[in-house]
Structure 1
Amino acid sequence: MHHLGHLESAIMDLMWSRSAPASVREILVGLQPERELAYMTVKTVMDTLHRKGLLIREPDGRAFRYRPTRTREQYTAAHMGEVLASGNDRRATLLHFLEQIPAEDLTQLREALNQAAGPSAGTTP
């Protein structure tokens, strides 16, 4: 997994917000209100994201259209797993994480754990 730089993050945010593949030009236009960027800068970064496995590109005439290889949530979950694996003591890392998150997030975490455990969780044979 690769850590995203500022421009990579901005491009991926735009890509994840779209429901269809995007051209470099479309992403450049989406970035323009906040940044003054050259077309080739955006193209280079999108090609880098493709090489990193975060974007798929499909031919569209002489150019490409790009789309994310996974959702924002899938990317975030993979990143969280990587960070968790980087600690020496996974249990201690999880406990420190749980101490820092708000109560409403703990409720969502409990619900997600129950859902992941499946319908037979908590039942005795």
Structure 2
Amino acid sequence: MQRLGGLEAEVMNELWATDEPLSVHDLVDRLSARKQFAYTTILTVVTHLHEKGWVTREKKSRAYFYSPSRSREEATSQALRALLDSSTDPSAVLLHFAKTVSDHEYDALQRGWSSRRSEQ
């Protein structure tokens, strides 16, 4: 999965913020609270997001409606995986990261590790 540009990230944040698929008009309206964007600009952005695999689209009448292809959490996990894969020493990165986790995050990691072991 390719990384997101600034406006792409803003569009994805809007898509993640709702359970309903959004049209380009919906996205322009939602983004207008921060800045005015041309319809064609947002159309280009969601087209690129679709090509990159970040969104799915469904045609209803004459418009496409867009939904995230994965949750924010799944996308973040994939970004972390890409960072580890790009490191020359992923074990060292993980060890440094482990020193920074909160108790809540530590508990979540333990639950994930336990469920992984039970699946094997």
Normalised TM-score (structure 2): 0.90
Letter paired with 2:108: Q
Aligned identity (percent) is 32
* 1:3 matches 2:3: yes
Q: How many residues align?
A: 120
Letter paired with 1:11: V
5+ residue gaps, structure 1, are 121-125
2:110 and 2:33 map into 1 onto residues whose CA distance is 40
* 1:24 matches 2:24: yes
1:73 and 1:104 map into 2 onto residues whose CA distance is 16
Residue 73 (structure 1) shift: 1.3
Deviation string 1:6-60 (CA, Å, 9 cap, x unpaired) is 2111110111121121100111111111111111111110111001011111112
5+ residue gaps, structure 2, are none
* Structure of higher CA gyration radius: 1
1:96 and 1:40 map into 2 onto residues whose CA distance is 44
Q: Which residue of 2 aligns with 1:68?
A: 68
Structure 1 segment 36-115 matched on structure 2, within 5 A: 36-115=36-115
1:54 and 1:118 map into 2 onto residues whose CA distance is 31
